[in-house]
Structure 1
Amino acid sequence: MNPAAPRVLVIDDEAQIRRFLDIGLRAEGYQVVLAATGAEGLGLAATQSPDVVVLDIGLPDMEGHDVLRELRTWTQVPVLMLSVRDAETEKVKALDHGANDYVTKPFGIQELMARLRVLLRQGAKARQADAPVRYDDGSLVVDLARREVFLDTVPVTLTRKEFAVLSMLVRHPGRVVSQQQILRDIWGPTHVQDTHYLRIVMGKLRQKLSDDASAPRWLKTEPGVGYRFPAQ
């Protein structure tokens, strides 16, 4: 296998679909990485640096939509969603969460290949924007690729939403990120007015990072607007 060949990460719980895609993609010269669960897929996305992700919506441990939202907190790798659900609302939901394309099962391998070629052409720009992001000021360490946070060398355990919010702020150092932007990207476009969700998560983050709200070191509030993470 050509080590320079594009790498496709397939996240699907159906063994026959994984085998079908593995054979078809390898026949077209792609490198293939396979995952059967959302958690496994997120781990491989962080460690294998895929050029494109093929993601099933119906996974045993978490919804594909949730996997997509987590991916979008730290990578813009092109994502093609797969699903037996052909309702327009499902497609809109996937696209709103950051999917680049959507294919309904059953599908033809040639159609899938054509769509992947389009996404791979878009992927070069995404890879440039996906340089590994790691914040380290000697006290707080946030490693987005490894999904790890340390405070004074002690691991900090965050929920998915807490990590997603922190990641979004870390990726925009020195810039104010609006409450609406955070809510839209992490909770979805129907939750842009649900600022209490964000306040709860920010409170938990401050508690876990020992960041005093009255004199914050990292999670700075811009009243009525949003939040800002310091530039290194």
Structure 2
Amino acid sequence: MTMKAKILIVEDEEPISNFIETTLKSNDYSVLSARNGQEALSMIPSHCPDLVLLDLGLPDVDGITILKHLRTWSSTPVIVVSARVDESDKVEALDIGADDYIVKPFGTSELLARIRTAIRHSTNIRSGASDSVFTVKGLKIDFPKRLVTIDGNEVHLTQIEYKIVCLLAKSAGRVLTYDNIITELWGPYALKDNQILRVNMANIRRKLEKNPAAPEYIFTEVGVGYRMVEE
């Protein structure tokens, strides 16, 4: 018998919490609920959820504070579900360690897709799984061969372009912030200048996309970062 993934909903608005809970249960998830930050902080270590859906505007402790505390000892996937739409809030949450950020109101299909991606990514990390080939919509990345093809035709990328594409592919479906990418590729002391990243991304899109202005593979989360498509 397959074990149900356990999800903790941290949401103080009861109608929203009940809606999410009903949606998750109807899709065969096990669900826990916390109405405030302190309750969430006590439930996470005792119940060990597979994923946390975290609202930022809680009545006692701000969700960012909870996320910071959680990341000092746990890698449990966290998806922020918030009414805050400012890019600075999204960037801060993702840089601190949120796995994803969804703005209210949201569609159930989007929520479920983001949950599946976060849980799958976390499971792969824990198990040490690392697919040697990434494929989506005609794009194929053969990591051992360092080979990128589109519909069987080789794409010639520079070394840094290849690293960017691989980094995004290995986190397909998740948003990586500009700072995340720069730190990963150029080190923690690199100047956080997005211009060099944008130049490289423009070159990558010219090589990968049929129409760089309407990308199929790598999407821009404006003011936040980039996300590789996931099938």
Which of the five TM-score ranges fits, normalised by the shorter chain? 0.5 to 0.7
Cα distance in 1 for partners of 2:34, 2:126 equals 21
Cα distance in 1 for partners of 2:102, 2:42 equals 24
Q: What are the Cα deviations for residues 43-85 of structure 1, in whole angstroms up to 9, with x where unaligned?
A: 1110111111100000000110000011101110110001111
Q: State how 1:152-163 maps to structure 2 within 5 Å.
A: none
Q: What are the Cα deviations for residues 107-135 of structure 1, in whole angstroms up to 9, with x where unaligned?
A: 11111000000001012145569xxxxxx
Cα distance in 2 for partners of 1:123, 1:85 equals 25
Map of 1:35 onto structure 2: 34
Instruction: Give the TM-score normalised by structure 2.
Output: 0.53
Q: What are the Cα deviations for residues 159-187 of structure 1, in whole angstroms up to 9, with x where unaligned?
A: xxxxxxxxxxxxxxxxxxxxxxxxxxxxx
SS of equivalent to 1:123: helix
Map of 1:91 onto structure 2: 90
Number of residue-to-residue matches in the alignment: 129
Change in 2 beyond 3 A, CA 1:62/1:69: same
Map of 2:123 onto structure 1: 124
SS of equivalent to 1:39: helix
Q: Please state how far the C-alpha of 1:42 moved relative to its aligned partner.
A: 1.1
The alignment yields a C-alpha RMSD, in angstroms, of 1.8
Cα distance in 1 for partners of 2:14, 2:125 equals 29
Asked if residue 11 in structure 1 is aligned to residue 10 in structure 2, the reply is yes
Runs (5+) with no aligned partner, structure 1: 130-188, 190-232
Q: What are the Cα deviations for residues 168-207 of structure 1, in whole angstroms up to 9, with x where unaligned?
A: xxxxxxxxxxxxxxxxxxxxx9xxxxxxxxxxxxxxxxxx
Cα distance in 1 for partners of 2:39, 2:125 equals 22
Change in 2 beyond 3 A, CA 1:111/1:72: same
Q: Percent identity?
A: 41
Cα distance in 2 for partners of 1:3, 1:54 equals 22
Cα distance in 1 for partners of 2:78, 2:60 equals 19
Give 4+ residue runs of structure 1 displaced > 4 Å after superposition.
125-129
Q: Please state how far the C-alpha of 1:16 moved relative to its aligned partner.
A: 0.6
Cα distance in 2 for partners of 1:127, 1:13 equals 31
Cα distance in 2 for partners of 1:109, 1:69 equals 27
Change in 2 beyond 3 A, CA 1:123/1:61: same
Map of 2:19 onto structure 1: 20
Instruction: Give the TM-score normalised by structure 1.
Output: 0.53
Q: Which amino acid aligns with 1:42?
A: L
Asked if residue 65 in structure 1 is aligned to residue 64 in structure 2, the reply is yes
Runs (5+) with no aligned partner, structure 2: 129-187, 189-231
Cα distance in 1 for partners of 2:66, 2:60 equals 10
Cα distance in 1 for partners of 2:5, 2:114 equals 14
Q: Which amino acid aligns with 2:32?
A: V
Cα distance in 2 for partners of 1:100, 1:66 equals 16
Change in 2 beyond 3 A, CA 1:37/1:112: same
Change in 2 beyond 3 A, CA 1:3/1:70: farther
Q: Please state how far the C-alpha of 1:93 moved relative to its aligned partner.
A: 0.7
Q: Which amino acid aligns with 1:123?
A: S
Q: What are the Cα deviations for residues 202-221 of structure 1, in whole angstroms up to 9, with x where unaligned?
A: xxxxxxxxxxxxxxxxxxxx
Q: Please state how far the C-alpha of 1:3 moved relative to its aligned partner.
A: 7.3
Change in 2 beyond 3 A, CA 1:127/1:75: farther
